Amino acid sequence: MKEQEQEQEQGVKIGVGIVPVVVMLSLVCTCVASTGNNLHPLILIPGNGGNQLEAKLSSDYKPSSFICDSWYPLIKKKKGWFRLWFDSSVILAPFTQCFTERMMLHYHPQLDDYFNTPGVLTRVPHFGSTNSLLYLNPRLKHITGYMAPLVDSLQELGYADGETLFGAPYDFRYGLAAEGHPSQVGSKFLKDLKNLIEEASTSNGGKPVILLSHSLGGLFVLQLLNRNTPSWRHKFIKHFIALSAPWGGAIDEMYTFASGNTLGVPLVDPLLVRPEQRSSESNLWLLPNPKVFSPQKPIVITPNRTYSAHEMVDFLEDIGFPEGVYPYETRIVPLIANIEAPKLPMTCIIGTGVRTLETLFYGNGDFDERPEISYGDGDGTVNMASLLALQSLWKEEENQYLKVIKMDGVSHTSILKDEVALNQIVDEIGKINSHAELGLTKVLSE
């Protein structure tokens, strides 16, 4: 498939138990042998931060310092393009500030959309290929590996990049908005992904496509499916496999918004990256969904106030981010209010039994300081209530096949490299390829 590049330019201004948790009342399948020639095309959709981003600077860019103007980045590609994500120099404090201002998004109230920092142009390399999903930085393969082990496992199954295996990287800083609100970058990604699905199917004899997402990618896929007609879905989609999907958001995001999150990168000051993280449209999308998390569930506790997922507006104001309130209320709340079933076969593979942030205690009410944390069950990033949200939200749905596989001790990211987890993923794909037809009437939770 011909490689494409997405470019965004500034306008006015980014251990193992297998437990299926649904049963099927009616299942009709005709089985055929699964061989390399029989494989359904497969598209990988990464999670937040799961692919490379590149940038270049125009004359409209106004750096905050001489260092940002002349010394960062140290290495640039031809025509001025350079690696924006992931660049290891971000661990150096002066460069952290440069990174933050270039990754920053800005919400424009009059245009009701998000834009890059003025003068910062961004693009997503290698759309259609798995190249930018393997490593976040090819020069640092050992520490920035992402989907490389998964791709290796799929290749052993017979998949070939650009023939039966494809990648759909995107600018993960941007999200989507509810109907009636523009979301130029996110909507373009959905359009590009739809085209990729159709091209992958056509180039493989009309076989419908298997979609395999990780984390945030699952939310994009579900939106894509529900924004297209049932006839399109049934023609082009064979099965949707979601790994570690945060269907109801994650409590970890409230920690990110309140105090900044280094995401495990050493030496980085979380307060330096906090403004950029708060500006991310997709991070706003990933805040805990009040339809999934109970109002009686305290998440952030201070001497003067307790916040649940139902007090998100007050939370955003009190942490010093009032500019996030309007886009949250108008663009995000309606988007997450109704998580529709696509009426297509789905498998969710999740990690469990990993200590996951559940409650934050700010003893003196200062969000600039590190809180005390209590933990609960989840995959280390996403809480169980969110990982299993579809099971409860869709329990009355008919014609929706949903299978959930729990893997004890597998974390949010190790699901892409853990040997047992990879074997499980490949096994599921093998089963899907062996089923020529899948007819469903209803599923019930056990």
Q: Does residue 215 have an active-site annotation? A: yes
pTM: 0.90
% of the chain beyond a pLDDT of 90: 80
Q: Does residue 244 have an active-site annotation? A: no
Instruction: Answer whether residue 316 is part of any domain.
Output: no
**Mean pLDDT of all residues in the chain?**
89
Domain span including residue 420: 4-170+180-246+337-354+378-445
Q: Are strands 237-243 and 306-307 parallel, antiparallel or unpaired?
A: unpaired
Sequence-ordered alpha helix ranges (H) in 244-300: 252-259, 270-279, 281-285
% of the chain beyond a pLDDT of 70: 87
Q: What is the predicted pLDDT for the residue at 436? A: 52
How many helices and strands, by DSSP H and E, does the chain display? Answer: 17, 20
CA–CA dist 275, 277 (Å, integer): 5
Q: Are strands 237-243 and 346-352 parallel, antiparallel or unpaired?
A: parallel
Instruction: Answer whether residue 236 is part of any domain.
Output: yes
CA–CA dist 180, 50 (Å, integer): 29
Q: Does residue 252 have an active-site annotation? A: no
Domain count, the chain: 1
The answer on pLDDT for 31 being more than 60 is: no
Instruction: Answer whether residue 311 is part of any domain.
Output: no
Q: What is the predicted pLDDT for the residue at 101? A: 93
Q: What is the predicted pLDDT for the residue at 364? A: 95
- How big is the CA angle at 225 (ends 426 and 437), to the nearest 5 degrees? 55
Q: What is the predicted pLDDT for the residue at 250? A: 98
Instruction: Answer whether residue 284 is part of any domain.
Output: no
Instruction: Answer whether residue 279 is part of any domain.
Output: no
Q: Are strands 300-301 and 165-167 parallel, antiparallel or unpaired?
A: unpaired
Place of tokens 């663009």: 331
- The H or E element that residue 434 is part of is helix 419-434
CA–CA dist 276, 257 (Å, integer): 10
Tens digit of pLDDT for each residue in 427-439? 999 999 997 544 4
Tens digit of pLDDT for each residue in 330-374? 999 999 999 999 999 999 999 999 999 999 999 999 999 999 999
The distance from CA 384 to its chain's CA centroid, rounded to whole angstroms, is 17
Q: What is the predicted pLDDT for the residue at 165? A: 98
Partners of 29 in the beta sheet?
Answer: 438
Instruction: Answer whether residue 32 is part of any domain.
Output: yes
Instruction: Answer whether residue 200 is part of any domain.
Output: yes
Q: What is the predicted pLDDT for the residue at 195? A: 98
Q: What is the predicted pLDDT for the residue at 112? A: 98
Q: What is the predicted pLDDT for the residue at 389? A: 98
Instruction: Answer whether residue 252 is part of any domain.
Output: no
The answer on pLDDT for 419 being more than 80 is: yes
Q: What is the CATH number of the domain that holds 221?
A: 3.40.50.1820
Q: Are 209 and 41 in contact (CB under 8 A)?
A: yes
Query: DSSP per residue over 27-46, as a string?
Result: EEEEE----GGGPPPEEEE-
Tens digit of pLDDT for each residue in 8-20? 433 332 232 322 3
Q: What is the predicted pLDDT for the residue at 69? A: 78
Q: What is the predicted pLDDT for the residue at 259? A: 98
The answer on pLDDT for 193 being more than 80 is: yes
Sequence-ordered alpha helix ranges (H) in 158-269: 184-202, 216-226, 230-236, 252-259
Catalytic residue (choose from 259, 379, 386, 435):
379
The answer on pLDDT for 443 being more than 70 is: no
Partners of 301 in the beta sheet?
Answer: 306, 361
Q: What is the predicted pLDDT for the residue at 76? A: 59
Residue among 376, 386, 374 at smallest CA distance from 354 = 376
Q: What is the predicted pLDDT for the residue at 420? A: 97
Query: DSSP per residue over 140-173, as a string?
Result: GHHHHB-SHHHHHHHHHHT--BTTTEEE----TT
Tens digit of pLDDT for each residue in 106-134? 999 999 999 999 999 999 999 999 999 99
Supply 182's token pair: 């523009």
> What mean pLDDT do residues 159-181 have?
98
Catalytic residue (choose from 40, 214, 412, 435):
412
The larger pLDDT score, comparing residue 95 to residue 149, is at: 149
Query: Hey, which bits of 80-152 come out as E strands?
Result: 82-85, 105-108, 113-116, 120-127
Supply 292's token pair: 């999934």
Q: What is the predicted pLDDT for the residue at 229? A: 98
Give residue 92's pLDDT band: very low, low, confident or very high (50, 70, 90): confident
Catalytic residue (choose from 153, 183, 215, 259):
215
189-203: burial string, b at 16+ Cβ within 10 Å, e else: bbebbbebbebbbee
CA–CA dist 361, 113 (Å, integer): 33
Q: Are 23 and 446 in contact (CB under 8 A)?
A: yes
Q: What is the predicted pLDDT for the residue at 64? A: 84
The answer on pLDDT for 2 being more than 80 is: no
Tens digit of pLDDT for each residue in 293-316? 999 999 999 999 999 999 999 999
Reduced to 3 DSSP states, what percent helix, strand and coil does the chain have, rounded to the nearest 5? 35, 25, 40
CA–CA dist 39, 438 (Å, integer): 16
Tens digit of pLDDT for each residue in 212-270? 999 999 999 999 999 999 999 999 999 999 999 999 999 999 999 999 998 878 888 99
CA–CA dist 431, 372 (Å, integer): 45
- How big is the CA angle at 62 (ends 58 and 66), to the nearest 5 degrees? 110
> What mean pLDDT do residues 395-403 have?
94
